[in-house]
Amino acid sequence: MDKLQSMKAYVRVVETGSFSATAAEFNTTQATISKRVSALEGDLGAQLLIRGSREHKLTEAGRSYYERASFILNELDEAESEAVGGVKSPKGFLRVSAPLMMGSLFLSPLVPRFLDLYPDISLELLLSERKVDLVADGVDVAIRIGQLSDSSMIARLLGQDELIIVASSQYLSKHSEPNELKDLEGHNCMIYSLSPDLNRWSFSEPVPGVSQQVQGNFQCDNATGLLDMLLADAGIALMPRWFVMPYIETGELVHLLPAYKKKMPIHAVYVQNRFVSTKLKCFLDFLTGAMKKEAHL
């Protein structure tokens, strides 16, 4: 059996998590894909996948082989592109993971522009608050907000996320506008429920580490729900600047206590290896440029 085809089948099974989905891509049967992966395991003398009815788990050997095989296949694609076109024209499949809110509201609108620039690239966007395992989940790059803890990955700083305090002008017409941070104690402060601080808002400016205890009658696990409540004049919230700026510009929302900001780095992280594929480099360069156009990122 063609070892190259078996490698391609194995890599796509890892990336899709499915023998049937891989079979559909290869225009063949699930049984054929299974035989190719089994043949590969036989040649290597090692089990790569622990097959399950709902999901397949990588063995340690499987993780290592996937990482090497996927980069070999990327190199092959790029070598063929150079030979045919004389220049490196990025192509292939990219799987990108991002936090739900930022991915859906900021990253998703950028994807069509990227694909227009690079029509030979296919991209899958995975949006979740779950921290993915890049190798096990077949992810090329993950966008992460906040301080990084995993030193085994390569990280590229894309920009800074900035959280600011906002409320609607109608809410403020009925309640006194806070002049100091401690004045938030007398307001209905709506909470992002996935925040590790919950009822304590902390800031990096004007003094790193300054914080304020807050309380309110509403929590939500995404910024869209909080925005809806803000526009319904329900209270005050700590929100991403890029998300609420259009409403501040129209006067629907007011930026409160502007000296107080919480800045968090935005990184793209990917598996450490000896090179970055052309398709991934193009995506990272594109994303960095898009974020630089936003004054707050």
- Structure confidence at residue 126 as a pLDDT band (50, 70, 90): very high
Q: Does the residue 284 lie in any domain?
A: no
Q: Which stretches of 8-152 are assigned E, i.e. beta strand?
A: 49-50, 57-58, 92-98, 121-127, 141-145
For residues 178 and 163, what is the distance between their CA atoms, to the nearest angstrom? 17
Please list, residue by residue across 16-33, b when 16 or more beta carbons sit within 10 angstroms of its beta carbon and e when fewer do.
bebbeebbebeeeeeebb
pLDDT at 78: 66
Q: What is the mean pLDDT of residues 117-124?
A: 92
Structure-model confidence comparison of residues 223 and 253, the more confident one: 253
Q: Are 39 and 6 in contact (CB under 8 A)?
A: yes
For residues 294 and 297, what is the distance between their CA atoms, to the nearest angstrom? 5
Q: What is the mean pLDDT of residues 113-142?
A: 88
Residue range of the domain that includes 214: 161-263
**Among the three residues 61, 86, 111, which one is the final residue of a domain in this structure?**
86
Q: Does the residue 285 lie in any domain?
A: no
CATH number, domain with residue 54: 1.10.10.10
Q: Does the residue 122 lie in any domain?
A: no
Q: What is the mean pLDDT of residues 142-147?
A: 89
pTM (global) more than 0.75: no
pLDDT at 1: 54
Q: Does the residue 10 lie in any domain?
A: yes
pLDDT tens per residue, range 181-196: 999 999 999 999 888 7
Count other Cβ atoms within 10 Å, centred on residue 15.
20
For residues 223 and 280, what is the distance between their CA atoms, to the nearest angstrom? 29
The pLDDT of residue 83 is above 70: no
Q: What is the mean pLDDT of residues 164-189?
A: 96
- Structure confidence at residue 261 as a pLDDT band (50, 70, 90): very high
Tokens of 257: 């206590």
Q: Does the residue 208 lie in any domain?
A: yes
Number of domains into which the chain is organized: 2
Q: Does the residue 36 lie in any domain?
A: yes
The closest alpha carbon to 229, from 168, 184, 275, belongs to 168
Q: Is the Cα torsion angle 78, 82, 87, 91 positive or negative in sign?
A: negative
**Among the three residues 52, 86, 120, which one is the final residue of a domain in this structure?**
86
Q: Does the residue 123 lie in any domain?
A: no
The pLDDT of residue 26 is above 70: yes
Q: Does the residue 107 lie in any domain?
A: no
The pLDDT of residue 262 is above 90: yes
Q: What percent of the chain has pLDDT over 70?
A: 92
The pLDDT of residue 171 is above 70: yes
